[in-house]
Structure 1
Amino acid sequence: MKKLVMLSSMLIVSTALAAAPADTLVIQESADIPTLEPAIAYDTASGQVIENIYETLVTYKGSSVRDLEPMLATKWTISNGGKTYTFDLRKNVKFHSGNAFTCADAEYTYERDLVTNTSDSGNWFLAEPLVGSQSNAKDDKNVTWAKIDKAVECNNNGQLVFNLVKVDPAFLAKLAASWMGIVDKQWAIKIGEWDGTEKTFMDWAGKEGLDNSALNKQPSGTGAYKLVRRDANALLATAFDGYWGKKPAIKNVIIQKVPELAARQQAFLRGDADLIEGGGRAVDEEQVKGKSGVVWIDNLPNVVSTGFFMNEKINGTQGSGKLDGAGIPANFFSDVNVRRAFAYTFNYQQYITDVQKGKGMQRTMLLPDSFPGYDAKVKKYSFDAKQATAYFKRAWGGNVWKNGFTITANYRAGSVGAQTAMEILQKNLATINPKFKLVIQAKQWSEMLKDSNAGKEAMIIIGWAPDYADADNFLYTFYSSNGYYFPRSNWKDAQVDKWLDQARTTVNQAERNRLYSLVANRAYEQAPYLLVPAAVNYGFQRDNLVGSTAQTYNPMLGFSYTGTFWKELSKK
């Protein structure tokens, strides 16, 4: 556990932590923070920090997931049939370095995003409407400097102009994603990042290792908080004295990595931590709800979709690498009979009862049920040992049932819900056939992200939090062979790809809904994922914390902890 000794300079290890001071917000969670580099960050652990260090052009208004309001922009116009976006920018804004914010910084930021864009970053959805490709110049020769330079530029009036190659109804919402925060151009170049010129852009195209860039170590944004110190176990940020907006009431924010749930709970109940990562509804209601000093907030919206990934082309060896009971071949999950058998093996209702304490729902597709495009009429799998047995006996010509298998499946270290889901599946597999062995183990979040993106994980549980409130952001991500999650599943269906591409080219919502229903029904038939039931969201906090989930909650901000920016918080 960490003890705050000198807020302005250091965090040191100790065995105790005094009650969180009135000017300090203490958050404890099980996961590490993979990166503070906006150009590569694409996970919630990183995003919760980045959205407070950097600022975007636009942000979400109040609790709405669709209404946007200005942040570093002051207003905007859309012209040229929806292909040109022109932004007026806020004046008298400073970066943490002391440099003044100008249009050149915004232009540099988005050009840098397009230049460094990789398959494991969130910039693909920006690149597509701006340069006509999800790839960078190194991977796609059609992505040229001329296209990048034209895509975003500053006009003579100091306005930022985006020139889209095709209409994108979700473009504004995309600019509100946390990693779209504006980077300090002068600072970035000074510490060794891309110099912003055509001469060097190919050297930075799809650059590897950006998660550990100079900006990851020394960020400079316009946000209300600036980084003071960060190591493997803790992060300290402090309010930026030069912030253009209202001065934050919370001066210091500490995020501590505390893997043990019991330790987080004890710190929270003592008042040593203001917000913690919980252990799932069943655990949290038993251990936290109703306790002194605790505010419990229920029935919050859930816009996350989560599934078991069954990798059809594993990059590496699982056990023996053969279907001999001691491992599995790399293409084990490519047999639809295997995937259907697993889908029938998981006990969805048990998960809802044990983890979500009855407050959960089994969705029909990997899309929040509140989003347009969700079809409640699509069939769902249920736990059925007889059906699972029948499909296992068909799989791989009967050899799965005859020989059995051993699979190593990883879950995010500290995630009680993911661990319980794995244990439910593990137990049911062994009951159906003692030769079926699922070896489950915890893994650090950053390692799991990298290995799963490289296709090395055979089976994992992972979710998707929306970048913007549109069905495409989920369905393309999960189900398209060009989607972000494809390297983790390697499931490809040409007809599904066609339907998803068609849905992207029309603004007719009824037609999009029809296409998404087709995708969902096909996914039910092919079972590329095992859908984890969606919980009714809840939150809890210390009763002296003001401005978070108990007041205004936006599921697009602050992720599971606050639903707002740190600058909106205070203590009474």
Structure 2
Amino acid sequence: MRRSGTVPWFTVVVVALALSAGAGLPAAAETVKNPDTMVKATYGEPETLDPAYAYDTASGEVIYQIYENLIDFDHGDLSKFVPMLATQVPSVENGLVSPDGLVYRFPIRQGVRFHNGNPLTPEDVEYTFERAMLQDRSGGPIWMFLEPLLGYSTIEELAKDLAGVDSFDQVPPEVLREVYRRVDAAVEVEGDTVVFRLARPYPPFLSILAHGGSWSSIIDKEWAIAQGDWDGSEDWVRWHDPKAENDPLYDKANGTGPYRLVAWEKGNQIILQRNEDYWREPAPIKTVVIRNVQEWATRQLMLQSGDADIVTVDPPYLEQVAAMPGVRVLRRQPWLANTAAFFTFNIAVEGNDFIGSGKLDGQGIPPDFFSDIDVRKAFNYSFDWQVYIDDVNMGEATQARGPIPASLPFFNPEQPVYQLDLRKAEEHFRRAWGGRLWETGFRMTIAYNAGNDARRIAAEILEQNIESLNPKFQIDIQSLQWPTYLQAYRESRLPLFIIGWLADFPDPHNFVVPFMHSTGTYAAAQRLPAELTREIDALIDRAVSTTDPEVRRDAYYRLQQIAYEQAIDIFLVDRTQPVVMRDWVQGWYPNAIRPGEDFYRLRKASS
């Protein structure tokens, strides 16, 4: 996710499954409070409820409860799949995958209904994927379909290539119709089966389709069109790359999952109600409430009183929870996620208060401030990983050695890393901008998403260490609401943005693309220069286009080395996830890439 956030990526999600601690709290064996309702208190809220648009964990957690995919991971085992809305998992052995790996067939389950009563059909599945590819919003998740099915990272790249032009605005109508025809041919219906035709073999294809990836959630074609969405015709451009709030499915939902959307009270809470007509057994919990509570003290009180069953807790507060009587803490649960501070190489200037004067005059920074490698290296040498891991993450992290987490194949355990070294930081600051930076100084703002103390402290570490080197260096820190933060970094207005990535699928390709590819979610917002991305893009394409492990290893090792040599980011930490359980909540299980909770599996009962 994923992806950028929702509980924002740096968060520690703490599931309160047995808390009866503190003065005046109920004893562990006392009657469960609100047994039919599960309340999660977190911070941040969804950016959207459109599965094809969502690419943050806050959105993904809500979509996970409402919508379903063709297949699912086998109870958190990321190496095994089970059927969901498809009746079989395709393989070469069962004849549903062609021997060359280019054709996948999914028999669609019958008797399933969307929340509005419409039956699930193969045409709904076809529409879901074709709509997503044509919508393909900037910085979104649909590259995961476009790469295997069409051989391009964006739909605009395909259109421009076919037309032989440099701008999507220059693509003529006949080429746009050809783009539609290619999308239409990539996903087809044959009786009760949906057929995917790949442009090339793509090893992680099934992982991309599995539940947990909101982008592959199946939507109701008839309902979506009634909301004003793409009508299925060749005239698709007016639905392409919408702003979140202009998307017809922005704040409404209609899935086949165990919970229905009741209300999205923006800034406050999401309310979900059990789907009594669910095709499987109805969920044990009738009502799910996900509340946006930014203040830790309030979330803590909700947890202690039993008004919240699941609470997001940043690592600095973890010991407060663990010390409460009746609390069970599971440390270092698997979580395929990492976090970095990303430099924007060409910052958007218009109306941008984050860069002060916009000049190298001591009162701001120029838009290409981080294009100087000495600036980037100086910032890297100014970060204190040991403090960040021990005092902020409470040991629930290790230093990241680059974009690829240590638990994935082709991670290089010998890859060099930066360490806190203020002497080297000063050397690079003195060389930066031909020596003018040290003499003139600078001022800039580092923003973080409101409520995320881990990101705030990361910014403060940089502020304190960098300002200690030169009184002319000034860094301001600003809190932004989560949707505002997302928009600001995507528009390249943040000079430096701190954000994490929760895996979409368990393969190194899923990390090098968002972190390094010219069209990747974070790299595109950074506006990495072409002289870097030419080699990077070629290496990424080479690594995913082969099943030869030696070729993949060489490409991924080189990518990790480029990331270090060029200091394109401050790679912060690879994360694990502590889970704190209150004993009236049962059924929690680990899943390293799930966006939040699986409320369908949870129940409340006295232990």
> Fold match, TM over 0.5?
yes
**What residue ranges of structure 2 are gaps of 5+ in the alignment?**
1-30, 91-95, 163-177
Q: Does 1:525 align with 2:565?
A: yes
Matched residue SS, 2:291? strand
Contact 1:118 1:136 in 2 (8 A): no
Amino acid at match of 2:55: Y
Residue number in structure 2 paired with 1:4: none
Identify if the C-alpha distance between structure 1 residues 179 and 498 changes in structure 2 by more than 3 Å, giving closer, same or farther. closer
Contact 1:137 1:202 in 2 (8 A): no
Distance 2:105 2:490 in 1: 35
Give the ranges of 4+ consecutive aligned residues of structure 1 lying more than 6 Å apart after TM superposition: none
Distance 1:402 1:301 in 2: 47
Contact 1:312 1:489 in 2 (8 A): yes
Q: Does 1:402 align with 2:439?
A: yes
Match of 2:222 among 159, 172, 186: 186
Residue number in structure 1 paired with 2:584: 544
Match of 1:64 among 47, 52, 77: 77
Amino acid at match of 1:115: L
Cα deviation digits, residues 406-436 of structure 1 (max 9, x gap): 1111011100111111111110011111211
Cα deviation digits, residues 95-137 of structure 1 (max 9, x gap): 0000000101101111111111122221111012212222235
Q: Does 1:226 align with 2:260?
A: yes
Amino acid at match of 2:203: P
Distance 2:482 2:447 in 1: 10
Question: Mapping of 1:179-218 within 5 angstroms?
Answer: 179-198=215-234, 200-204=235-239, 206-218=240-252
Distance 1:496 1:217 in 2: 37
State how many pairs are aligned: 543
Amino acid at match of 1:362: Q
Distance 2:503 2:246 in 1: 24
Residue number in structure 2 paired with 1:300: 333
Distance 1:138 1:346 in 2: 37
Match of 2:63 among 50, 60, 64: 50
Identify if the C-alpha distance between structure 1 residues 109 and 24 changes in structure 2 by more than 3 Å, giving closer, same or farther. same
Distance 2:66 2:397 in 1: 34
Q: Measure how far apart 1:138 and its partner are.
A: 9.0
Match of 2:294 among 259, 273, 283: 259
Q: Measure how far apart 1:207 and its partner are.
A: 3.6
Bigger Cα displacement from structure 2, 177-186 vs 483-492: 483-492
Distance 2:185 2:576 in 1: 45
Distance 2:565 2:236 in 1: 45
Superposition RMSD on alpha carbons, in Å? 1.7
Distance 1:425 1:80 in 2: 53
Match of 2:539 among 490, 499, 521: 499
Match of 1:419 among 447, 456, 461: 456
Matched residue SS, 1:73? coil
Distance 1:73 1:535 in 2: 33
Matched residue SS, 1:68? strand
Amino acid at match of 1:175: L
Distance 1:568 1:234 in 2: 21
Q: Does 1:514 align with 2:527?
A: no
Q: Does 1:30 align with 2:50?
A: no
Cα deviation digits, residues 301-357 of structure 1 (max 9, x gap): 131111001111001241111111110000000000000000000111111121122
Residue number in structure 1 paired with 2:53: 40
Distance 1:487 1:128 in 2: 16
Q: Measure how far apart 1:291 and its partner are.
A: 1.1
Contact 1:304 1:466 in 2 (8 A): yes
Contact 1:269 1:291 in 2 (8 A): no
Distance 1:263 1:167 in 2: 50
Distance 2:184 2:299 in 1: 48
Distance 2:561 2:590 in 1: 33
Contact 2:158 2:179 in 1 (8 A): no
Q: Does 1:79 align with 2:98?
A: yes
Identify if the C-alpha distance between structure 1 residues 482 and 216 changes in structure 2 by more than 3 Å, giving closer, same or farther. closer
Residue number in structure 2 paired with 1:457: 494
Distance 2:287 2:359 in 1: 53
Residue number in structure 2 paired with 1:10: none
Q: Measure how far apart 1:216 and its partner are.
A: 2.8
Q: Does 1:167 align with 2:204?
A: no
Contact 2:417 2:564 in 1 (8 A): yes
Match of 2:522 among 481, 485, 490: 485
Identify if the C-alpha distance between structure 1 residues 258 and 116 changes in structure 2 by more than 3 Å, giving closer, same or farther. same
Task: Pick 1 or 2: higher relative contact order, CA cutoff 8 A, min separation 6.
Answer: 2
Percent of counterpart pairs with the same letter? 36
Q: Measure how far apart 1:541 and its partner are.
A: 3.0
Cα deviation digits, residues 494-526 of structure 1 (max 9, x gap): 322222221122111232112111111121111
Residue number in structure 1 paired with 2:15: none
Q: Measure how far apart 1:252 and its partner are.
A: 0.4
**What residue ranges of structure 1 are gaps of 5+ in the alignment?**
1-17
Contact 2:335 2:593 in 1 (8 A): no
